[in-house]
Amino acid sequence: MLDFSDSSFADFFASELKADIDDPKYAVNGSSKGKRLRYFLQTCDDATAVRVLEALWEHRSEYLLRSGSADSVPNAETRYQSLITRLSCGAEPMRGTSGPRSIPVDREEIAKIKSELLAVTALAPHARGYAFEGFLKGLFDASGLAAQEPFRLRGEQIDGSFQLASEIYLLEAKWHGQPMGVAELHTFHGKIEQKAAWTRGLFVSNSGFTEVGLAAFGRGKRVICMDGLDLYEMLDREIPLNHVLERKVRRAAETGSPFIRVRDLFPQ
């Protein structure tokens, strides 16, 4: 079933739904992954079914991009959307069916966040990186994205993590004088690949990314990118962060490109 092993399939359900798909009650019709999934969907409520199907669809889309495989299922997306629409009629709105979750604009909070971003630029170079990470955590918290502080895993530094819809993203934050090149992108993507198959990443570089680096990095990766201009335009135009990120994720799924500017995602 896709690229799931029994172990990664169980991890997927534990992470997405806090459910134990290995519970014998889901194996009454057979113990294969497909049969356990079908029984789970038959016995759960519609909202849960929508959630798991959306998560599996995103995993499937990423799998096809990574493998370069053609979709062998006729009209797969149309059939998927039709199923989601039917299930959603009796369920609370889920990600991907009614657009990003709206977050009220707090203009006072936005003004505070903008001033904090400007304050980072006035710091000494060594202090900017730590202050930039702190600024981003405050921005994610204000956007309801459950940000976590930086942490370390056996020699590798992760600048933090956050939750967008039901997906967990690891964060890389850089405040350098020069745009980031392919080496930094590959290093971060390597960290992502060492985690669970559905882990994603957000690389935020205040100085942006080189065109050569983005081209060499390639398409179909599990990383999306933002630069300082993205942050400024998002705050200046009062576009909620979760809207920006979900639009970037969708465009990356459609095009394979990790970096599309806010001004192109939200043309005025």
Instruction: Return the domain boundaries, the chain.
Output: 6-88, 107-265
Q: What is the DSSP letter of 70?
A: -
Helical axes 107-121 vs 125-142, angle rounded to 10°: 170
Burial of 170 (0-12, 13-18, 19+ CB in 10 A): buried
- CA angle, corner 37, sides to 58 and 48, nearest 5? 65
Its pTM stands at: 0.59
| Fold observed for domain 107-265 | Trna Endonuclease; Chain: A, domain 1 (3.40.1350)
Buried b (16+ CB within 10 A) or exposed e, 104-119: eeeeeebeebeeebee
- Conformational region of residue 58, where left means phi above 0, alpha means psi within -120 to 50, and beta covers everything else: alpha
Spell out the per-residue pLDDT of the chain, length 268, in tens.
Answer: 567 888 888 888 887 677 888 988 988 888 898 888 888 888 888 778 888 888 787 777 777 777 777 777 777 777 777 777 666 654 444 344 344 444 455 667 777 887 888 788 778 777 787 788 778 888 888 888 878 776 555 445 667 888 887 788 999 988 888 899 999 999 999 989 888 877 899 999 999 999 999 999 988 788 999 999 999 899 888 888 988 998 999 888 888 899 999 999 988 7
Calpha distance 97→95 (Å, rounded) = 6
Calpha distance 202→188 (Å, rounded) = 9
